[in-house]
């Protein structure tokens, strides 16, 4: 009886809540970066010389890893080089591509008569494609794009 009384006193002093398991805060998914339609249209326009007609908004696994291609122009420069929808472009002309906006800048610093290496991950395999026939946007047109 003395032990039971001692337990009752201890519980009253420290309270039952300290013995109960701590309640975890609810799980929340991290916020994914989003792109506005205006920014996506500007990226698409900036990648026209390469023949990429759409890029995917950044996926969690792609964050700062490259630009994921959604669509290529049939008969365009990218398709001729072997680029396919779903490919992840990691570098262009030896420069790392962290995201689609970086690719716009690299593509539009090219010369029309040159060939450029582009490292892509396609179907889980890394490969280098050679891109030729690029005609970059005029600087005044590129400067008006609402990106970067």
Q: Which two tokens stand for residue 1?
A: 């009886």
94 neighbors 87 (Cβ within 8 angstroms): no
Q: Give residue 7's pLDDT.
A: 58
Residue-wise pLDDT for 6-22, tens only, equals: 656 656 666 655 555 56
Helix (H) or strand (E) segment spanning residue 105: helix 100-107
CATH code of domain 37-143? 2.30.42.10
Residue-wise pLDDT for 95-147, tens only, equals: 999 888 889 889 988 988 899 999 999 999 999 999 999 888 888 887 777 66
pTM for the full predicted model: 0.71
């Amino acid at each position: 009886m003395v032990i039971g009384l001692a337990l009752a006193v201890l519980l009253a002093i420290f309270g039952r809540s300290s013995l109960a398991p701590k309640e975890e805060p609810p799980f929340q998914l991290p916020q994914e970066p989003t792109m506005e339609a205006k920014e996506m249209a500007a990226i698409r326009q900036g990648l026209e010389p390469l023949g990429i007609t759409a890029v995917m908004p950044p996926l969690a696994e792609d964050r700062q890893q490259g630009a994921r291609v959604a669509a290529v122009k049939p008969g365009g420069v990218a398709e001729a080089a072997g680029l396919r929808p779903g490919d992840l472009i990691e570098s262009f002309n030896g420069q790392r591509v962290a995201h689609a906006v970086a690719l716009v800048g690299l593509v539009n610093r090219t010369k029309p008569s040159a060939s450029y290496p582009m490292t892509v991950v396609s179907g889980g395999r890394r490969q280098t494609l050679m891109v030729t026939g690029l005609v970059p946007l005029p600087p005044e047109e590129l400067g008006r794009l609402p990106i970067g």
